[in-house]
Amino acid sequence: EDKVVQSPLSLVVHEGDTVTLNCSYEVTNFRSLLWYKQEKKAPTFLFMLTSSGIEKKSGRLSSILDKKELFSILNITATQTGDSAIYLCASNSNSGYALNFGKGTSLLVTP
């Protein structure tokens, strides 16, 4: 059975800190790994990563996947209170269409 495990489950930081969120995966016939930000409403797509190992960046957020160690990290630099959310990691397999989600990391950025 495919597995996605996120750590930590929750995190509290001060504005301006840098955070690293972790996602490990065990996926048969791996296609990609996706990161989403979930605030009160829709999970918002952040990044898709493949076994190419290419780092993805968008502003203060970046993410990379290690295909040998089977994990991905999401980095947020110079955190702001608006970064407070649940960050979801999900795997995608070539065997089907479903995203398999982890339990998420709840990030709280305090002023």
Q: CA 84 to CA 79: how far, in whole Å?
A: 9
Q: Give the side-chain half-sphere CA count within 13 A for 54.
A: 8
Min separation Cβ 17 and another protein, Å: 26
Min separation Cβ 15 and another protein, Å: 27
- Nearer residue to another protein within complex by CB, 45 or 80: 45
Find residue 8's DSSP bridge partners: none
DSSP letter assigned to residue 1: -
Min separation Cβ 103 and another protein, Å: 5
- Nearer residue to another protein within complex by CB, 78 or 98: 98
Residues making contact with another protein (CB under 8 A): 31-32, 34, 36, 41-45, 48, 88, 90, 92, 96-104
- Nearer residue to another protein within complex by CB, 20 or 94: 94
Name residues whose C-beta falls within 8 Å of residue 47's C-beta, 6 or more positions apart in sequence: 34, 35, 56, 58, 61, 63, 74
Min separation Cβ 41 and another protein, Å: 4
